[in-house]
């Protein structure tokens, strides 16, 4: 099997020849290629170059193309800060009141903000290696996170607590949902094999499970169901310790979940992993960036032993790899998958 075949077997619920590896390495790839974040976030050619060089260096089974967490928010009118060697971050919301939601328009990936940059970069990479390597394209922030950025995190979370029945909340979530959905489709149309979304603010480290159930889950669950109906496999990433909401996530239609290293891996396997694909969840900072190759091997073997059975598993870090992650640690990570991830 090549990398694409290996990953696609897992996504289809089949057992591959070995555990496939995906690297959440956009910032690391740019640094290794000598490309500044200022260039990476606006130049599709630079993005493609960074990931193709990383593929040549590491030989992973799946590329993960993403830029930063401000793309969709910018496209909806939020303001962001762009530093030379840091990912962009939202610094001002698009609206100041829930009463202003009606002036927001669903984002168009073909023309709005920097969305065309990600779409073109995905197409460039797909044209080069799409037959051999699986391409995961990050469709940026999911509906709940995007609503937080468009209205302002503090403002949106305060509204959920103080005005939970305000019609502007649902209206905002719907605009964010439709914008997010459009980006998934655009990325698949240019050659991505599967997509993903980030919902770092939807987990128990930020909001209560009850708030997640009422405001984050409905659009998140609707999203993966809609994409699955269109033949698009989507991965949901929620930062932090999601152990408290794993039973709810297990009820989603068939999709993938990328869990942070804080999530209990055994509980995740026993609940969500019973019918969904698990991505992750080796600690990107404490182990992969700051640990030794021996520690990387140890922690990777531990995870493989828990998540390997039945094949619904793509090895990855629990979140984005720091740009300073040593190449020798990535080598140890992948070699361990090759050695201990074989299915017999």
pLDDT for 254 equals 84
Question: What's this model's pTM, rounded to 2 decimal places?
Answer: 0.96
**How many Å apart are CA 261 and CA 272, to the nearest integer?**
15
- Structure token pair of residue 121: 């970069």
What are the residues facing 329 on neighbouring strands?
Answer: none
pLDDT of residue 67: 97
Q: What is the DSSP letter of 242?
A: -
Walk along the chain (344 residues) and give the pLDDT tens digit of each residue.
999 999 999 999 999 999 999 999 999 999 999 999 999 999 999 999 999 999 999 999 999 999 999 999 999 999 999 988 889 999 999 999 999 999 999 999 999 999 999 999 999 999 999 999 999 999 999 999 999 999 999 999 999 999 999 999 999 999 999 999 999 999 999 999 999 999 999 999 999 999 999 999 999 999 999 999 999 999 999 999 999 999 999 999 889 999 999 999 999 999 999 999 999 999 999 999 999 999 999 999 999 999 999 999 999 999 999 999 999 999 999 999 999 999 98
Q: Which residues of 245-256 are buried (b: 16+ CB within 10 A; e: fewer)?
A: bbebbbebbebb
Give strand pairing partners of 86. Answer: 83
pLDDT in the model for residue 85: 86
The 3-state DSSP class for residue 23 equals: coil
Cα end-to-end distance, the chain, whole Å: 14
CA distances from residue 236 to 86, 166, 265, 287 in whole angstroms, order as listed: 24, 27, 16, 23
Specify the pLDDT at position 253: 86
CB atoms within 10 A of CB 191: 18
Residue whose structure tokens are 């840091």: 86
**pLDDT score, position 172:** 98
What element of type H or E holds 86? strand 86-92
Q: What is the dihedral of CA 99, 227, 304, 17, to 10 degrees?
A: -160
**For position 322, what pLDDT does the model report?**
96
**Are 311 and 275 contacting, i.e. CB atoms less than 8 angstroms apart?**
no
Give the domains, in start order, of the chain with CATH numbers. Answer: 3-340 (3.20.20.210)
Two tokens at 65? Answer: 């193309």
């Amino acid at each position: 099997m090549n990398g694409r075949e290996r990953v696609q077997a897992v996504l289809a619920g089949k057992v591959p020849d070995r555990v496939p590896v995906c690297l959440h390495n956009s910032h690391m790839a740019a640094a290794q290629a000598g490309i500044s974040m200022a260039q990476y976030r606006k130049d599709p050619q630079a993005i493609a170059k960074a990931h193709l060089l990383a593929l040549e260096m590491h030989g992973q089974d799946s590329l993960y193309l993403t830029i930063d967490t401000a793309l969709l928010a910018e496209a909806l009118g939020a303001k962001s800060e762009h530093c030379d060697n840091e990912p962009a971050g939202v610094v001002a919301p698009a609206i100041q009141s829930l009463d202003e939601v009606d002036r927001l328009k669903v984002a168009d990936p073909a023309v709005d903000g920097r969305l065309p940059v990600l779409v073109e970069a995905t197409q460039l990479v797909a044209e080069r290696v799409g037959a051999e390597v699986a391409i995961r394209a990050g469709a940026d922030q999911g509906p709940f996170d995007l609503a937080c950025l468009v209205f302002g995190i503090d403002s949106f979370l305060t509204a959920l607590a103080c005005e939970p029945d305000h019609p502007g909340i649902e209206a905002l979530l719907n605009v964010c949902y439709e914008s997010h959905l459009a980006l998934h489709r655009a990325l698949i149309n240019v050659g991505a094999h599967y997509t993903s979304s980030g919902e770092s603010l939807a987990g128990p480290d930020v909001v209560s499970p009850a708030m997640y159930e009422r405001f984050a889950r409905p659009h998140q669950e609707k999203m993966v169901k809609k994409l699955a109906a269109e033949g698009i496999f989507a991965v949901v990433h929620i930062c932090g310790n999601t152990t408290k909401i794993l039973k709810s996530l297990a009820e989603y239609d068939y999709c993938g979940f990328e869990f942070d290293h804080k999530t209990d891996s055994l509980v995740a396997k026993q609940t969500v992993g019973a019918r969904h694909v698990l991505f992750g969840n080796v600690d990107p900072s404490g182990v992969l960036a700051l640990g030794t190759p021996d520690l990387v091997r140890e922690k990777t073997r531990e995870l493989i032993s828990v998540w390997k059975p039945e094949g619904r598993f793509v090895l990855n870090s629990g979140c984005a790899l720091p740009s300073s992650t040593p190449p020798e640690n990535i080598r140890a990570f992948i070699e361990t998958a090759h050695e201990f991830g074989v299915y017999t």
